[in-house]
Amino acid sequence: MIHQVKTAIVESIAELYDRMFSLDADAVSADTSPEESDLISETRLSGATEGTVSIRFPRSTARRLRALATGAEEDPSDADLIDLVNELTEMIVAGMRGRLGPAVVSASRPTVRFGLPRTHDAAGPQHDRWTMASDCGGIDIDAAIRSAPSLRFGNNQNRAAA
Amino acid sequence: MKTLIVDDSKMIRGIERTVLATFGCKEIVESSNAADALRLLQSFEPDLAVVDGSLAGEGSAEFIRAFRQKFPRAAVILVTAQTDQASAVEAIKAGVTAYLVKPFTPDLLMQRIEEACGRLTRAA
């Protein structure tokens, strides 16, 4: 399932960058260093698939994207950057849900903060991390998902019945 | 043409304002929520409203119903995310003239404004 989620996120970001910024965005191996000044958005997934999608926007990337979107040249405030990351994350997640089907994934509204990304338990959910690279710099995506407990329980029941 | 923009995102309002200005709109008023927008409408009579499809609080459909009661001949463009289908249908029933799915290009927004204003002109 993590592969479908990743593909849906990659396609959603590529569409978003193309339409809003006239930029190409490509998935590459994660290759960036987090900083305290980064903006982190987190969206909780529920439904048949549950988990978290975290997106890390380096401040410089967020500033460039905002300048491209609005044409504004002044230095954006922290609130402006949080607004940008919140709105972009909502569109990315909406695009992902549209591709996976709302029955598979429903999503919370994103929370956005400055700081370092959280670390995931490697033995926990299925997990993938990659960078979407563009001429405005990269953003890091971290997706951690698993099937919902009811489905796992259902699978056990099916096996018991068999 | 007098235009009202209602969206909780400053970035989206900025993009919409830029496109509307390119289209020749000179009087543009913005609000980040439905309650403030309704208050603005006591002294501002728009020909066009560009409304976010996921307004918190009173919600987009409620706002559009109230807007329609006050300005039945004005055009309303609903801007909605790909998965806001249920709320979009409710808002469309409340009386939108055209709708636009995010993420959108400036050209697409321009096209919707032209469509909405064309309907406005034909209805007049």
Q: What integer is the mean pLDDT of B106-121?
A: 83
Cβ–Cβ < 8 Å for A26, A93? no
Q: Where are the alpha helices (DSSP H) in chain A?
A: 2-21, 59-70, 78-100, 149-161
**With an 8 Å Cβ cutoff, is B106 touching chain A?**
no
Residue of A nearest to B15 (CA): A70
> Residue A86: its pLDDT value, please?
96
Percent of chain A's residues with pLDDT above 90: 65
Is pLDDT of A96 > 50?
Answer: yes
Enclosing H/E stretch for A124: none
Cβ–Cβ < 8 Å for A30, A131? yes
Cβ–Cβ < 8 Å for A144, A51? yes
The ipTM is 0.86
- Are residues B105 and A19, on separate chains, in Cβ contact within 8 Å? yes
Cβ–Cβ < 8 Å for B97, B119? yes
CA–CA distances in Å: residue B92 to residues A76, A89, B79: 35, 25, 11
Three-state DSSP at B98 gives strand
DSSP A46-73: ESSEEEEEEEEE-HHHHHHHHHHHH---
- Are residues A83 and B84, on separate chains, in Cβ contact within 8 Å? no
- Are residues B103 and A91, on separate chains, in Cβ contact within 8 Å? yes
Instruction: Identify which of A29, A14, A41 has the alpha carbon closest to the alpha carbon of residue A95.
Output: A14
Percent of chain A's residues with pLDDT above 70: 88
Mean pLDDT, chain B, rounded, equals 88
Q: What is the pTM of this model?
A: 0.88
> Residue A151: its pLDDT value, please?
55
- Read off φ and ψ for residue A16, nearest 5 degrees: -60, -50
Using the structure block, give the residue that is written with the tokens 């193309």. A18
> Residue A74: its pLDDT value, please?
84
pLDDT in tens, B13-61: 999 999 999 888 889 999 999 999 999 999 999 999 999 988 876 688 8
Is pLDDT of A162 > 70?
Answer: no
Cβ–Cβ < 8 Å for B59, B33? no
The larger pLDDT score, comparing residue B90 to residue B46, is at B46
> Residue B124: its pLDDT value, please?
54
Which amino acid is it at B42?
Answer: Q
> Residue A161: its pLDDT value, please?
45
**With an 8 Å Cβ cutoff, is B12 touching chain A?**
yes
**With an 8 Å Cβ cutoff, is B22 touching chain A?**
no
Residue B72 banded pLDDT, cuts 50, 70, 90: very high
Could you list the beta-strand ranges (E) of B1-124.
2-6, 27-31, 48-52, 75-80, 98-101
Is pLDDT of B108 > 70?
Answer: yes
Is pLDDT of A160 > 50?
Answer: no
Dihedral of the CA atoms B5, B8, B12, B14 (nearest 10)?
60
Residue B94 banded pLDDT, cuts 50, 70, 90: confident
Residues of B in contact with A91 (CB under 8 A): 81-82, 102-103
CA B21, distance to chain mean position in Å, is: 15
Which of A30-34, A82-86, B10-14 bottoms out in mean pLDDT, i.e. has the lowest?
A: A30-34
Pair of tokens at residue A145: 């998902």
